[in-house]
Amino acid sequence: MLPLLEKIYDLQDIHTISKHEQIVLGIIEAIDSDILKVGDKLPSINEMVAEIGYARKTFVKAYTELKERGLVESKNLKGYYIISRETKVTLKVALILFAFHSFQEDFYNTFRKELGKKYHIDIFFHHNNRSLFETIMGNISRKYGMYVIAPIQDNQLIPRLKKISPDKLLLVDRFLKMPEDYSYITQEFEEVTYTKLVELAPQIKKYNKFVLFYKDNTDLPPDILRAFNRFVKEYAIDNEVVESYESFILKKGTVYFSISDTNLWQVLKDARKMEYRIGTDIGIVAHDDNIVKEIAFGGITTISTDFKMMAKKAAIFVKERNHTQEITPTYLRRRNSL
């Protein structure tokens, strides 16, 4: 314990840093100089209070910061242990997304780039599975300094999320109504999807039928289904909701609306095999834009938010922790598929 205390004592004459910063930096220097190694137990808060004489809350604050940096882990009734030597990390961030879809890959890559090397990011996927989500949350509880979460839209999960303090939680992508002091940067689905379909109505009505691929109890937003049903009813368009794509079900004179990229690629594959001209024989509208949709088959018309913008704003929140509540804009990108 003495070499560690000496590292902290050496910082006491630097009056530009606070007492809790002296403790944090002293422990970091002890790690960097191999006085403390991974697996070593730190002195208890009571021991530190007795040896150094600072208030208990000062050591609690210091140990909490070390936990948020991912350097220390607390084990119930056993104390605090060194778990990492990555002392240059400013903050350890848990990023929880639905799945590694292409647009969420865009989010992650931008988020990673904007935060830089001083932030350690662990990424998890819940696949819209409540049990898996609960397991992830239980495993990462109190181990991170910041939680950026794309939540399952289930109000029964709100109590679990409220266990994280508002300054350490940011909801992204899907909206879930939390207390006012919590932050979010999300997208809206129903009204914007309906509005964009109305803008596309002249092109859609050139076809005989409008088909949406949608299956309940998946990660597909139910808001989009409501927008679709509202649109086809108000515009008297023959329509169908298909749970899953089956090979060669494509019919001329039909517009296909795909939320899932898996369905979209199957439609495109069969259209080529059946020698259907996209934008003439069949129409295609997709959700969530990416570079492939911009290029493939002369371009696929999409309704999409800007995930890179969302990721940049999420990174700013992690760095600055300023309370924010924002709905990101959704764009219609007209291309040759309709």
Burial tier of 218 (Cβ tally within 10 Å: 0-12, 13-18, 19+): middle
Mean pLDDT of the chain: 92
- CATH 3.10.560.10 assigned to domain 91-187+307-328? The reply is no
Domain 2-82 belongs to what architecture? Orthogonal Bundle (1.10)
Q: In which region does residue 275 sit, left (phi positive, over 0), alpha (psi from -120 to 50) or beta (all else)?
A: left
Domain with CATH 1.10.10.10 in the chain: 2-82
Positive or negative, the CA dihedral 105, 110, 112, 113 is positive
For residue 327, the model assigns a pLDDT of 95
Q: Which two tokens stand for residue 129?
A: 């599975």
pLDDT tens column, 149-182: 999 999 999 999 999 999 999 999 999 999 999 9
Distance, CA of 146 to CA of 27 (rounded, Å):
21
Q: In the structure, what pLDDT confidence band is assigned to residue 100 with cuts at 50, 70 and 90?
A: confident
Alpha helices for 176-260 (secondary structure H) = 190-204, 222-234
- CATH 3.90.1720.10 assigned to domain 190-305? The reply is no
Secondary structure letter of residue 145 according to DSSP: S
CB 49 within 8 A of CB 59: yes
Average pLDDT over residues 239-251: 92
Q: Which two tokens stand for residue 158?
A: 């709100």
pLDDT tens column, 175-232: 999 999 999 999 999 999 999 999 999 999 999 999 999 998 788 899 999 999 999 9
For residue 4, the model assigns a pLDDT of 85
Percentage of the chain lying above the pLDDT 70 cut: 100
For the chain, state the CA radius of gyration.
Answer: 26
Domain with CATH 3.40.50.2300 in the chain: 91-187+307-328, 190-305
- SS3 breakdown of the chain: % helix, strand, coil, rounded to 5? 40, 20, 40
Given the DSSP bridges, would you call strands 282-287 and 301-305 parallel, antiparallel or unpaired? parallel
Burial tier of 228 (Cβ tally within 10 Å: 0-12, 13-18, 19+): buried
